[in-house]
Structure 1
Amino acid sequence: MKPIIAITMGDCAGVGPEIICKALNNQTIYDVCRPFVIGDKKILEREMKQLNGTQAIHTIQDVNEATFSFGTIDCLDLDLLPSDLPYGEVSAVAGDAAFQFLQKAIDLAKKKHIQGISTAPLNKEALHKGGHIYPGHTEILAELTETKNYSMMLSSPNLKVIHLTTHVGLIEAIRSITPERTYQVIMLAEQVLRSAGYAQPRIAVCGINPHAGENGLFGNGEEEEKLIPGIDRASREGIDVTGPYPADTLFYRAAKGDFDIVIACYHDQGHVPIKVLGLEEGVNITVGLKSGVIRTSVDHGTAFDIAGKQIADERSMISALLSAAEMAPKENLN
């Protein structure tokens, strides 16, 4: 059975509607999942006309009404936007609509009607003008699903990485790593990969210091203090987790198949190898949400400067959908 993936249109003054239309003109998406759009039918129809597309837009009010058939885009139409919404402009109405599209997807996830969410980009300034003061998608998802323990995962065709810390400075990142956080992220990695169908996920933890500290030669014992207790705890519980390993060899080993996922200690340690392997194929995934749903996103912003010009690249949207299909929980599909 194929997972049902909700695609939220994001800020419709940007390239979201365009890349959604282009991505859903790819048969491969329908081969691996059952996609539908949460957004505004008028905007999709405007975009389809400008692209000279042939896909029909099928309005639905419930997931059960979707056809999930290639050549037709099922749209759960919230009807929140004017048909002449300007391209490339920050607006409260677009920011509010982007929030409501995501809120609807989260509601469906809580009810177990969908297994994944793929998000087109939103604009933070427009989001705030619309009355929703959040840094971005992740924080909305965490709050509306009442999730405290979550993490950012990056996925590319040959490498998966999950982070202990993300958008903080390096000194703060190292300070905030604890044995408990290390254990929690190991368990998140285990859970998301098992749910996606991995029988025994092979997890590797990256060191903080050069050469993973080399037995105290580098650093101040951070590996022994912050990482190893969490690794040992998870290992005693039967998790296939090893490390810490030096970063300069671990990502190479994982990319060639020695491990299923790498736990990175800080933002750039995990992001750089993924983006070197192929920026256009990297996907951001939020894991650990209480709803059980997987959320994937494109790895770019709203691109207001090219919105409405029909030149946006849909490859990241395609990758986000393929990753959602791969990582979505496989139990209870119907």
Structure 2
Amino acid sequence: MSSYRIALNFEDGVTRVIDCGPKEKVLDAAFRQRINLPMDCSDGVCGTCKCRAESGRYDLGDDYIDDALSSDEAQSGLVLTCQMVPQSDCVVAVPVASTACKTGTARFGGKVAQVTGFAGAAFELVLEVAADAPGFLPGQYVNIGVPGSDQHRAYSFSSASGAARMSFLIKNVPGGLMSSWLATARPGDALDLTGPLGSFYLRPVTRPVLMLAGGTGLAPFLSMLEEMLLQGIDQPVHMIYGVTRDQDLVLVERLEDYARRLPGFSFTTCVADAATAHPRQGYVTQHMPAEVLHDGAVDVYLCGPPPMVEAVQKHFQAQGMCPASFYYEKFVTSQPAPVAVAA
């Protein structure tokens, strides 16, 4: 392999993905790509460059002193980026803001390749992007500027990182600023993007996974499932996909395709509307069998509106269930743009 992808997660939620050569130190690779990670000595003496490796394989060598990084710290996943030589793709948590490292959110452009509407419930936006568009972690989001305005909207990636096309699943809000634009968007239309951002992303899969998707909160899970396919994950992964109305249940055929191609993946769907014709009426908490909780030995990922997040938290508390890890992202739908009223 010519290089590895290193995702640097800063404490302000900004992520920058850099390329690091197979014999290159992370600190050097970051500096080469104009990201000044914290450092004083660069010789494994001061400990200023200490970060946490959240995933991946690497070698720290033995050219640093114990005062800079103790054996206990190294065992717990702490690293010195001035000594860290990756042996795989890695995720590194940097304990400072991105601005302190003279970097920040990347700005880049995309052109509309396709917009697909789903019965007035949602849009799937597909963008063509340049080869040097920033990478992201599956589950993260980007801010997209709304053409003709000075506003932006945040949407989770539904595609795999590094692909030539980026996709997003966007709720159709009647009268909404972005929804109104998407209804008239044409291939080739240009968009400005800023990101990636967010601490909601797929961690190393070492135990069963439970995914809870609410409405267009399905988007980040599609990106995660793509990553699981690439990694060859074979742990049990179950998704419960809940929506408000029948027409909100979109891209189910894509989940069926993942169920065929990804060993261990299964999913169920439910609709909250009391008048639904769907075989499973109700909320995700009402369709969560004990077997998908694995007696707490499960990583739970949840993306949905605040009431859904709170309901799941209360459900776990009532059941006395404490998952091994619980990651969630709350999203709030933007309100429709105000209508001008003549004086």
- TM-score where L is the length of structure 1: 0.34
Flag the structure with more relative contact order, 1 or 2, with Cα contacts below 8 A and sequence separation at least 6: 1
More strand by share: 2
